[in-house]
Structure 1
Amino acid sequence: MRFAATLLMWLVTTLLLALALPTAWVQQHLVDEGGYAALAQKAAADPALQSAMASELTTQVGRLGTSVNTGTVSLVAATYTSGASFPGQFAQANRFAHRWLFTDSIRSSVDSQGRWVIDIAPMLSDVAFKETLADYDITVPTAVPIPLTDNAPAVLRPGALRLAGTYGPWVSVGLAVITGVFALFTLFVARSRGKMLVGLGVSALVVGAAGWAAIEFGRRRLNAVLDNSTGDIRRIADVLVNTAQDSMHQWLNISLVVGGGLVIIGVIVSLLVSLARST
């Protein structure tokens, strides 16, 4: 009876960990505005994103003026995106898009066709563009929206993720606490603490490995959504997704390391207990 209870508790703990880990990552890096902005700022350091953003900025300047020297503007844009001010301004642009999606409070983040957009006017207003735009007698509008996707799914509509933004922190913390409580109960119920430490380590290893597999599967599905974007926007989205994927991998690696550590500790504890009983 005790073995069955221990096994049941271990299974529940493993399932809870499989839910708690990705939920905590999503809350910290996607649902939380500051976390998402930090992720975008980190992605902005990638040369591939800088190149794509420079190309997009060049395109938008060309639309604002009729006699623009594309080569000159392209050089200025490349200098700007590789400069110190770009990552912060790119993160700010993503903050506005995030608020629109999670709170529906930034109406300027959606165009007349209902597409999800980011406003790059602050970027074009940077001092790096000031002299060049003045030479072409271009005044930057208060908003320069560029669509992130032409055929946005329902999940990318104004305020579509409002509930996640409201209740996400509570769910994340709640799952973490419940997982910890069940892990302690599992250790308490188990006949052998050492073996159960090994079992909990195996849980962390299983969750980490399963997470890696789930990311690979999910990336294929996500690529289908990203196919709604083309050109420079698709290149930018790819870098953002890759940055997020690397961050998820780091969390899963921590799970694998902690799991391996628990297995080692559990084996050592079991050996020490066996030696103590034999003497």
Structure 2
Amino acid sequence: MRLLASFVFWLLTTVALAVAIPATWAQHNVVDRNGYSEFATSAAKDPAVQQTMAAALTSQLMALSANSGYDVNETLLSGAVRAYTSSSAFPGQFALANQVAHRWMFTDTVGQSDTSGRWEIDLSPMLADSSFQQTLAGFGIKAPETLEIPLTEDMSQSLRPGQLRDAAKWGPLVSVGAGVLAGVFALLTLAVARRRGKALVALGVSGLIVGAGGWAGIEVGRRYVNDALDATTADVRNVAAAMVDHATGNLHVWLNLTLAAGGALVVLGFLASMVGGMRRSERPSVSD
């Protein structure tokens, strides 16, 4: 009976941990507004994000200069924009622009559309740097008060304002609840098991399963993420894809820590089992 109970608690621990790790990561880096702002600031230091954002800004500024009647050398402008996106001022301003996108996805109270019904995002915070504005002035471009680019090609049913507001509502509860349950079930597993060393090994295996399963899950999930990104415009898709790559790398770190913790528990469990076995063998028998 104790063997069955310990197996059930171990299984529940594994399931709860499998929910807790990605849910906690998502809550910290995506759902929470401040956490997402920190994530965007970190992502803006990634050369891949800087390059794709430079290409998007160059595209929009070239269109702006053409509408204003200026003949701008795109190569020179692109170089100036790349210098800006690699500067220390870019991460903070990139985070401000991403806060707008975050509110767009996690609430249904912000966002506007153009005449064709496409939802837009304002990139003007990234033009607020005074040195960058002086650079643009050298090309005859006056930094606009707003620089709105469409997020989607049309009024997509797969990408709309407020689509993730339920995640903002339930995310904290799921992440904290799953973490608490994983801890409770792990303690129950240890309490019910006949051999604590073997129970530690089993809990370590749970960490290894969740870590390895997370790696596999990311690869499967990328297909669905790419399908969602296909609904966005080219510039937005390139930037978003670079940020997804950055997020994937960050999540891999969490999964690697889970694997490391699982491996440590396996080793600790084996050592505990060995010590327990030695102690039992040294005990005098009843006949003695």
CA distance in 2, matches of 1:250, 1:97: 25
SS at match of 1:156: coil
Matched residue, 2:269 = 266
Matched residue, 2:210 = 207
Q: Structure 2 vs 1, CA of residues 150 and 174 (structure 1 numbering), >3 Å: closer, same or farther?
A: same
CA distance in 2, matches of 1:62, 1:155: 30
Matched residue, 2:2 = 2
Matched residue, 2:49 = 49
1:246 correspondence with 2:234: no
CA distance in 1, matches of 2:214, 2:265: 19
CA distance in 2, matches of 1:165, 1:36: 12
Aligned-pair CA distance for 1:140: 3.4
Q: Structure 2 vs 1, CA of residues 152 and 29 (structure 1 numbering), >3 Å: closer, same or farther?
A: farther
CA distance in 2, matches of 1:163, 1:261: 36
Give the aligned length: 278
Q: Structure 2 vs 1, CA of residues 262 and 153 (structure 1 numbering), >3 Å: closer, same or farther?
A: farther
Aligned-pair CA distance for 1:165: 1.1
**Which ranges of 4 or more aligned residues in structure 1 deviate by more than 4 Å?**
110-114, 135-138
Q: Structure 2 vs 1, CA of residues 21 and 50 (structure 1 numbering), >3 Å: closer, same or farther?
A: same
Aligned-pair CA distance for 1:175: 1.2
Matched residue, 1:232 = 235
Aligned counterparts, 1:101-250, within 5 A: 101-108=105-112, 110-135=113-138, 138-151=141-154, 153-154=156-157, 156-229=159-232, 231-250=234-253
**1:53-83: per-residue Cα shift (whole Å, max 9, x none)?**
2222222222223214133322221211111
**Contact 2:94-2:125 at 8 Å conserved across structures:** no
CA distance in 1, matches of 2:128, 2:77: 14
Q: Structure 2 vs 1, CA of residues 27 and 232 (structure 1 numbering), >3 Å: closer, same or farther?
A: same
Highest CA radius of gyration, 1 or 2?
A: 2
SS at match of 2:38: helix
Aligned-pair CA distance for 1:172: 1.0
SS at match of 1:143: coil
Root-mean-square deviation (Å)? 2.0
CA distance in 1, matches of 2:86, 2:176: 38
- In structure 1, runs of 5+ residues without a counterpart are none
CA distance in 1, matches of 2:124, 2:152: 19
